[in-house]
Structures are given as structure tokens and as C-alpha cells.
A and B are shown apart, each in its own frame.
Chain A
């Protein structure tokens, strides 16, 4: 299967000379459709930089970034903006919903900004809210929703249309553990429907939902988990113990 997101030897440097900071060093990462990859690492390890570069919000200093096989650095600014609007969804820790818009308007907005007319954008947004069990809250404003509900709306906004890549930065960071788990379960469902998902987090419980985990340290990928064996192995160990 070809990768939906591919980073090839990506480095990112901020500043010059003595104040130079190497945020990423020769990072390779490949994520296929239907796969969820978690990136773990302490503060300052380069997690957020990796996500902004993967989402083409920032350019790499060197190396290649490919989204659905297209090399991002060879695109014009307009092409990149279109790629971000159509292919890539973002989910943030603090939801980032626009307070003056209803849930439905928030979800519909990326489609409308992309030139889709209201008659098509609204039903599509409503469908995305429905998939995330939020249809009945469509006319509510963000401040009328709980944290868990706001994050569901944010996920609906991130997947609406035909997005192929979902990037999430500590998506359960502002939620209690039960609501956080509910959000991760939805991200997994979204992922299984064919999106490639990258989650950056320092929360091991969240990361454990991923198919694969890579560890960053000082801007480098230093380690990664193997795909976990089936749960049967765990039950065998328990009954022996």
C-alpha cells in the first residue's frame, strides 16, 4: 500500500549561528491509509514541529514531505493551501472552534472556504456530525457544549469532505480520561474508514490506541514499537500467572 504521508530525511532548523536550534534531524516516517501512528516524546523533542511540517503549515529545511504521493515543497503556495483545505484535517488540544459559529457552521466552514456552495456543504457537514454522534447538537454554539462534545465537533470539522490525512496534537489533553477515551475511539473509527492518522502526545494511554508508536528525542526518531501481538497472548500470560 502506498503511503498517505511520507517524510524522507526531514530536518528543520530555526535561527542561525549560535542561536541555531535543530528541531528535527533526518526524520523518516511513513503512514498508510487506515493506519494510526502516535508520536511520543518529551516537550522540546520536535513533536509539534513534525506535525506542522507534515501538515504543510511549515516548510522543512531539508528533506522531502509527500502527501498522497505529491511532494509538498514543489507545490506553489496556492497548491499547498488547496492541499491543506482538501486533504488534511487538524485536531488540537483546545478544540479551536470558532465561538460565534454553531457546531454545524464550524464543520461546514472548511467546505465553504473551498468554494463548495451552502446547499452541498451543510448536508455534508451534518453527515460528518452524525458520524460522530453529534447531529442533535448541530445548532449549538461551542460554549453550550462540553469539552468532549467540542472535540467531537472539531473531529467532524477535520474529516468533513474527502480528507485523507488527519493530524492531531494532544487531542485528549483537555479531557478527563473517560471522555478522552471516547474521543480516541472515534479517531480510531475515523482512521479505520480509510484516513491516515498521526497523533502527537506525551500521554502513553492515548498512544497505546495507535497501531504503531514512534519515539522522538532531540528531534530524532530514536525508537518505535512493533505492531502489537493479538490480545490472546495477554490472556495466556494471565492464566499462567
Chain B
């Protein structure tokens, strides 16, 4: 999460002291990501340098200074809110690779591999759900943060379920010993 834009968002509600901004930031993100206090002040300094915020005393930085968002700061915040998150090239998914590999490896039942990962993922979901269950119902920030992770993990479980079902409907994939398969390249060799 961008600390820079989170601070602009907090300042869009009105001027605030450095210390107050730090406390608010921690409260809003559900205290899931503890922040180094220094990070708030150095970020504020940079925002001031870039003209996105102003302070009552231009020199130095610290908890006692009061900050105010500028018009360019507000524009930057609006732009950021509407910009889709950066999408990198698809990450190499370790779980996907493990499942694909276990379809081929002899003496491995891919459905057992799927179940192992399904259980592990659901246990992690149980832990996140406990966080939500034990938090006060007024803590919307925490619930939103936890939901993000729960929906991601639910997606993993649904993909595992779909893969499980898909493999059931496919004819038994002949397990091939990868080493024995090597000689198939003799066609290539024949040309040499």
C-alpha cells in the first residue's frame, strides 16, 4: 500500500499534525501493517518538497507540525484512486506448478496433492476468519483488510475444486516415467 497516497487521503479530510496522521494511518489499516514512525515523517517531507502538502513551518519535520493538502495534492489523490493497480506479468504460481507436475509424476495421486493444499488453504482461512470474528463489529477497516485475503484464498480453493472436478471427467492420464520418455527424441537423432 502506498503510504504517500494514504497520507494524502487522510489530509483530504482536513489539516492534521504529524503524530495524529501516524495514529490515524495505523487505525485505518486495522493495525495489520505496523508502520515505522519515521516512515510517516519522511514521506510527509517528500510530499511537501513535491508541493502536494504544505506545513505551518517549512523547516524540518516532526510530530508537532501541522500539514495541509494542496490543490495539486488533491489532484494527485484523485488520479491515484482512479488508476487501476499495476498488473505485472502473471506471477509464476508455485501451487499451479505443483498440481500440473503431480498429474505426471508416477506414484503420486494428484487428488491427494490437491486435498493437501485445499486443507492448508482452508486452515489459513480459518485463522483470518478468527481475526474477523474476534474484532469489534465496528472495525470496518480490519474487516475489509481480512476480507481481501479471504476472497483471495477462496479463489484458490475454488480453483482447486474446479481442477479436482476437471481431472475426474478426464480419462486417466497415463503416468509416464519422464526418464523412459527421453528416447522419444530418437526421431531427432535419426535425422542426424
A-B pairs, top 4 by smallest CB distance, nearest first, are A208-B125, A228-B126, A208-B129, A231-B131
Smallest CB separation, B168 vs chain A (Å)? 9
Number of interface residues of B (CB under 8 A): 28
Q: Is the CB of A239 within 8 A of B154?
A: no
Smallest CB separation, A235 vs chain B (Å)? 7
Additional pairs, 17, CB under 8 Å, beyond known A223-B115, A228-B126? A40-B122, A42-B164, A42-B165, A203-B154, A213-B122, A217-B115, A223-B119, A224-B119, A225-B122, A225-B123, A228-B123, A228-B127, A228-B130, A229-B127, A233-B127, A235-B131, A238-B33
- Does A205 make an interface contact (CB < 8 A)? yes
**Given A228-B126, A234-B127, A239-B34, does the pair A205, B154 have CB atoms closer than 8 Å?**
yes
Q: Is the CB of A204 within 8 A of B33?
A: no
- Does A222 make an interface contact (CB < 8 A)? yes
Q: Is the CB of B128 within 8 A of A215?
A: no
- Does A155 make an interface contact (CB < 8 A)? no
**Which chain A residues in 135-169 approach chain B with CB under 8 Å?**
none
Among B125, B150, B151, B153, residue most surrounded by chain A Cβ atoms (within 10 Å): B125
Q: Is the CB of B122 within 8 A of A204?
A: yes
Q: Is the CB of A215 within 8 A of B154?
A: no
Q: Is the CB of A217 within 8 A of B111?
A: yes
Q: Is the CB of B126 within 8 A of A208?
A: yes
A-B contact count (CB 8 A): 69
**Which chain B residues in 99-144 approach chain A with CB under 8 Å?**
111, 115, 118-119, 121-123, 125-131, 133-134
- Does A24 make an interface contact (CB < 8 A)? no
B residues within 8 Å of A by Cβ? Answer: 32-34, 111, 115, 118-119, 121-123, 125-131, 133-134, 150-151, 153-154, 157-158, 161, 164-165
B162's nearest neighbour on chain A, judged by CB, is: A42
Smallest CB separation, A40 vs chain B (Å)? 7
Sorting the interface of chain A by its residue count into under 10, 10 to 19, 20 to 34 or 35 or more gives 20 to 34
Q: Is the CB of A205 within 8 A of B150?
A: yes
Smallest CB separation, A203 vs chain B (Å)? 8
Neighbouring A residues of B150 by C-beta, 8 Å: 205, 208
**Given A225-B119, A231-B131, A234-B131, does the pair A205, B165 have CB atoms closer than 8 Å?**
no
Neighbouring A residues of B128 by C-beta, 8 Å: 208, 231, 234
- Does A195 make an interface contact (CB < 8 A)? no
**What per-residue 1/0 map shows which CB atoms of A199-234 lie under 8 Å from chain B?**
000111101111001010100001111101111011
Neighbouring B residues of A207 by C-beta, 8 Å: 122, 125
Q: Is the CB of A215 within 8 A of B130?
A: no
**What per-residue 1/0 map shows which CB atoms of A165-209 lie under 8 Å from chain B?**
000000000000000000001001000000000000011110111
